Amino acid sequence: MSSSDPDSRLLLLMRHGKAESGSGRPDHERALADRGVTQAQLVGEYLDAQNVQVSRVLVSDAVRTTQTWEAVAAAMPGFDGEVSFHEEIYSGGAADVLALVHGVDARHPVVMVVGHEPTISTLTSLLATEDSEAGAAAQARIGMPTGATAVLSGPLQGWGSLAEASLTLHTIVRP
């Protein structure tokens, strides 16, 4: 998506791909399983095929989310946006992630967050309007499977005005 409407915003909320089991390793250090890499690549291919021009990416600083983003980006050869890594996406909740999105400059019409459950599904449900796609809204209430990406959009003057029930949830991409 690349819109000529300066107030049109697209928000992608992605749960990291399938991770390896903990096996004595700290949770923050868990890596992606092969399946998780494939899931992330498929999401990147989907975004590339849909001509989604992601301009700002906020990623949890956990190993599995960093690897998820790397696999997504590898499948989007034209990506030239800004990426930053945040501990608060790992340790915080929906309000913490929302605060990070509020801080994104309005010049970025397409923002992606790569994070964890239950934060991603909670934030998706919180932001979705009543006219959102029913199946996607139900999935968000149940929880997001690994690698799934919620696609929300709506008219916002800037990310600072993002609020409860302010974006339409169109679909949840499930690789």
- pTM of the predicted model, to two decimals? 0.95
User: What pLDDT, on a 0 to 100 scale, did the predictor assign at position 7?
Assistant: 67
- Rounded CA separation 133/131 (Å): 7
Average pLDDT over residues 1-6: 50
The encoded tokens of residue 132 equal 């959102």
Residue 115: what are its φ and ψ, rounded to 5°? -145, -145
Average pLDDT over residues 9-35: 93
Model pLDDT for residues 132-162, shown as the tens digit of each residue = 999 999 999 999 999 999 999 999 999 999 9
- Please tell me the total count of domains within the chain: 1
Model pLDDT for residues 78-97, shown as the tens digit of each residue = 899 999 999 999 999 999 99
Confidence tier at 115 by pLDDT (50, 70, 90): very high
What CATH number corresponds to the domain at position 120? 3.40.50.1240
Residue 3: pLDDT above 60? no
Per the domain annotation, does 14 fall within a domain? yes
Residue 6: pLDDT above 70? no
Per the domain annotation, does 1 fall within a domain? no
Residue 43: pLDDT above 90? yes
Which residues span the domain enclosing 148? 8-173
Per the domain annotation, does 3 fall within a domain? no
Residue 126: pLDDT above 50? yes
Per the domain annotation, does 2 fall within a domain? no
Per the domain annotation, does 63 fall within a domain? yes
DSSP class of 159: G
* Residue 10 CA neighbour count, 13 Å, CB half: 23
Per the domain annotation, does 59 fall within a domain? yes
